[in-house]
Structure 1
Amino acid sequence: MPSSPAIDRRALVRRHHVEQTTLDPRSPVTVGNGELGFTVDLTGLQSMPGEYPVHRRGHEPDRDVPGTLLGTQSQWAWHSIAGEREYSLEETTRRYEVDGRLVPYVEESPRGTPGYDANRWFRANPHRLDLGRVGFVAVSDDDGDDGDGDSDGGRLAALRPGDLADTRQVLDLWSGTVDSAFSHRGVPVRVLTAVHPTRDRIGVTVASARAAGLAIAVDFPYGSSDWHNAADWDSPGAHTTTVTAAGGGWVVERTLDDSTYRVHVVATGAELEHVAPHRVVLRPTADDVDVVVELTTDGQGDMVALTSRAGHADTATTAGDAREVHRASAAHWQRFWESGAALELAGTDDPRARELERRVVLSQYVTAVNSAGSLPPQETGLVCNSWRGKFHLEMHWWHAAHFPMWGRPELLEPSLGWYRHALPLARDTARAQGYAGARWPKQLGSVLRETPSSIGVHLVWQQPHVVYLSELVHRVTGDDAFLREQAEVVFASAEFMADFAQAGPDGFTLGPPLVPAQESYAGERARLSNPPFELAYWRWALRTANAWRERLGLEPEERWAAVAEGMTAPHVRDGVYTGVDVEPFTIRTDHPSMLGALGIVPDVGLIDADVMRATYLDVLRDWDWSSTWGWDYPMMAMTATRIGEPGWAVDALMDVAGKNVVLPNGHNHQTDSLPLYLPGNGGLLAAVALMARTHLDGGAGFPSGWDVRLEGFPATV
Structure 2
Amino acid sequence: MRVNQVAAGYLSRFNIVRTKLIDNETTPLQIGNGNFAFNVDNTGMQTFLPFNTLSSWAWHNDSLPADGCGKIPAQPNSGRRLTICSELPSDYHGVPRETYGRQVYYDALPDPNLKQATQWLIGNPNRINLGRIGLTYKGATVSASQITQPKQVQDLWNGIITSTFEIDGKYVKVITQGDFEEDAVAFRVESELLKSGDLGVELDFPYPPIHTTAYKYEVSECDLPSELALRRNPSPPSTIQKRNKLEWNKYWQEGGFVDVTASSNLNATELRRIVTSQYHVRVNSAANGQSPQESGLMNNGWYGKFHMEMVIWHNAHWATWGKQKYFDNIFPELYERLLPSSLARAKAMGWQGARWPKMTDPIYGINSPGDINGVLLWQQPHPMYLANLAYQASPTRKTLERWDRVLTETANYMASYAGLNNSTGKYDLGPPSYGVTENTPPNSTRNLAYEIAYWRYGLDAAREWKHKLGQRIPEKWTHVAANLALPPQVDGLYAVYNGLNSSWWNDTKLTGDPRSLIMLQGILPDTPAVDPKIALATAEKVAQVWTDDKIRGWGRPVLAINSARIGNPSRAMYHLTAYDYWKFDDAGFAIRGGDGGTPPPFMPGNAGFLYAVAYVVGGWSGSKGDAPGVPKGEGLVVKHEGLMKAL
TM-score, normalised with respect to structure 2: 0.88
Residues 1:564 and 1:655: Cα distance change in structure 2 (over 3 Å): farther
Distance apart, 1:674 and its partner CA: 2.4
3-state SS of paired residue (1:361): helix
- Residue 264 of structure 1 is matched in structure 2 by 231
Residues 1:444 and 1:45: Cα distance change in structure 2 (over 3 Å): same
How far apart, in 2, do the equivalents of 1:426 and 1:624 lie? 39
3-state SS of paired residue (1:412): helix
- Residue 33 of structure 1 is matched in structure 2 by 33
Residues 1:7 and 1:548: Cα distance change in structure 2 (over 3 Å): farther
- Residue 459 of structure 2 is matched in structure 1 by 542
* 1:77 matches 2:5: no
- Residue 387 of structure 1 is matched in structure 2 by 302
- Residue 269 of structure 2 is matched in structure 1 by 354
Residue pairs, 1:603-642, within 5 angstroms = 603-623=526-546, 628-642=551-565
Equivalent residue in structure 2 for 1:691, among 616, 620, 624: 616
1:478-517, CA deviations, whole angstroms, 9 ceiling, x for partnerless residues?
3433331221111111111112223342633211111001
Contact 1:662 1:669 survives alignment (8 Å): yes
Residues 1:424 and 1:581: Cα distance change in structure 2 (over 3 Å): same
Equivalent residue in structure 2 for 1:222, among 167, 184, 207: 207
Contact 1:37 1:369 survives alignment (8 Å): yes
Q: Which residue identity is paired with 1:600? A: I
Q: Which residue identity is paired with 1:106? A: D
Distance apart, 1:715 and its partner CA: 3.1
* 1:661 matches 2:586: no
Residues 1:5 and 1:71: Cα distance change in structure 2 (over 3 Å): closer
Equivalent residue in structure 2 for 1:578, among 495, 505, 510: 495
Contact 2:151 2:163 survives alignment (8 Å): yes
How far apart, in 1, do the equivalents of 2:57 and 2:470 lie? 38
- Residue 371 of structure 1 is matched in structure 2 by 285
How far apart, in 1, do the equivalents of 2:368 and 2:513 lie? 22
- Residue 257 of structure 2 is matched in structure 1 by 342
- Greater CA drift, 608-617 or 636-645: 608-617
- Residue 47 of structure 1 is matched in structure 2 by 47
Contact 1:9 1:342 survives alignment (8 Å): no
* 1:701 matches 2:618: no
Contact 1:92 1:109 survives alignment (8 Å): no
- Residue 680 of structure 1 is matched in structure 2 by 605
- Residue 23 of structure 1 is matched in structure 2 by 21
1:345-400, CA deviations, whole angstroms, 9 ceiling, x for partnerless residues?
111111111112x1111111111111110222100010001011111111111111
Q: Which residue identity is paired with 2:281? A: T
How far apart, in 1, do the equivalents of 2:319 and 2:2 lie? 24
Residue pairs, 1:137-148, within 5 angstroms = 137-139=136-138
How far apart, in 1, do the equivalents of 2:129 and 2:156 lie? 24
Distance apart, 1:625 and its partner CA: 5.5
Residues 1:214 and 1:575: Cα distance change in structure 2 (over 3 Å): farther
How far apart, in 1, do the equivalents of 2:389 and 2:91 lie? 37
3-state SS of paired residue (2:371): coil
- Residue 515 of structure 1 is matched in structure 2 by 434
Residues 1:230 and 1:32: Cα distance change in structure 2 (over 3 Å): farther
- Residue 269 of structure 1 is matched in structure 2 by none
Residue pairs, 1:177-576, within 5 angstroms = 177-208=160-191, 209-211=193-195, 213-224=198-209, 225-226=211-212, 227-230=215-218, 232-233=220-221, 235-236=222-223, 239-241=224-226, 254=228, 262-265=229-232, 318-356=233-271, 358-374=272-288, 375-416=290-331, 417-445=333-361, 446-504=363-421, 505=424, 507-521=426-440, 524-576=441-493
Residues 1:465 and 1:80: Cα distance change in structure 2 (over 3 Å): same
Q: Which residue identity is paired with 1:661? A: K
How far apart, in 1, do the equivalents of 2:187 and 2:454 lie? 47
How far apart, in 1, do the equivalents of 2:579 and 2:5 lie? 30
How far apart, in 1, do the equivalents of 2:128 and 2:393 lie? 35
Residues 1:484 and 1:20: Cα distance change in structure 2 (over 3 Å): same
How far apart, in 2, do the equivalents of 1:371 and 1:403 lie? 10
Contact 2:38 2:53 survives alignment (8 Å): yes
3-state SS of paired residue (1:215): strand
Root mean square deviation, CA, Å: 2.2
Contact 1:92 1:118 survives alignment (8 Å): no
1:258-285, CA deviations, whole angstroms, 9 ceiling, x for partnerless residues?
xxxx4324xxxxxxxxxxxxxxxxxxxx
- Residue 286 of structure 1 is matched in structure 2 by none
* 1:117 matches 2:116: yes
Contact 1:502 1:509 survives alignment (8 Å): yes
- Residue 155 of structure 2 is matched in structure 1 by 172
- Residue 75 of structure 2 is matched in structure 1 by none
1:692-717, CA deviations, whole angstroms, 9 ceiling, x for partnerless residues?
22288416320113211111012331
3-state SS of paired residue (2:231): strand
Contact 2:367 2:373 survives alignment (8 Å): no
Q: Which residue identity is paired with 1:602? A: P
Distance apart, 1:87 and its partner CA: 2.1
| Identity score, percent | 30
Q: Which residue identity is paired with 2:3? A: A
* 1:101 matches 2:90: no
Q: Which residue identity is paired with 1:443? A: M
3-state SS of paired residue (2:54): strand
Residues 1:400 and 1:5: Cα distance change in structure 2 (over 3 Å): closer
Contact 1:223 1:231 survives alignment (8 Å): no
How far apart, in 1, do the equivalents of 2:478 and 2:109 lie? 35
1:135-164, CA deviations, whole angstroms, 9 ceiling, x for partnerless residues?
11222xxxxxxxxxxxxxxx313321x322
Q: Which residue identity is paired with 2:360? A: L
Distance apart, 1:620 and its partner CA: 2.8
Q: Which residue identity is paired with 1:372? A: A
Q: Which residue identity is paired with 1:431? A: K
1:614-649, CA deviations, whole angstroms, 9 ceiling, x for partnerless residues?
322322323375564321110111111111111111
3-state SS of paired residue (1:170): strand
How far apart, in 1, do the equivalents of 2:355 and 2:589 lie? 32
Distance apart, 1:229 and its partner CA: 4.0
Distance apart, 1:228 and its partner CA: 4.6
Equivalent residue in structure 1 for 2:521, among 587, 598, 602: 598
Distance apart, 1:677 and its partner CA: 0.5
How far apart, in 2, do the equivalents of 1:128 and 1:567 lie? 40
3-state SS of paired residue (2:629): coil
Q: Gaps spanning 5+ residues in structure 1: where?
A: 50-67, 140-154, 242-252, 255-261, 266-317
Contact 1:435 1:499 survives alignment (8 Å): yes
How far apart, in 2, do the equivalents of 1:107 and 1:348 lie? 50
Distance apart, 1:5 and its partner CA: 7.1
TM-score, normalised with respect to structure 1: 0.80
Residues 1:636 and 1:89: Cα distance change in structure 2 (over 3 Å): farther
- Greater CA drift, 699-708 or 510-519: 699-708
How far apart, in 2, do the equivalents of 1:203 and 1:527 lie? 55
How far apart, in 2, do the equivalents of 1:513 and 1:672 lie? 27
Contact 2:36 2:55 survives alignment (8 Å): yes
How far apart, in 1, do the equivalents of 2:219 and 2:599 lie? 16
How far apart, in 2, do the equivalents of 1:29 and 1:509 lie? 48
How far apart, in 2, do the equivalents of 1:697 and 1:612 lie? 20
Contact 1:174 1:337 survives alignment (8 Å): yes
Q: Which residue identity is paired with 1:158? A: V
How far apart, in 1, do the equivalents of 2:514 and 2:308 lie? 17
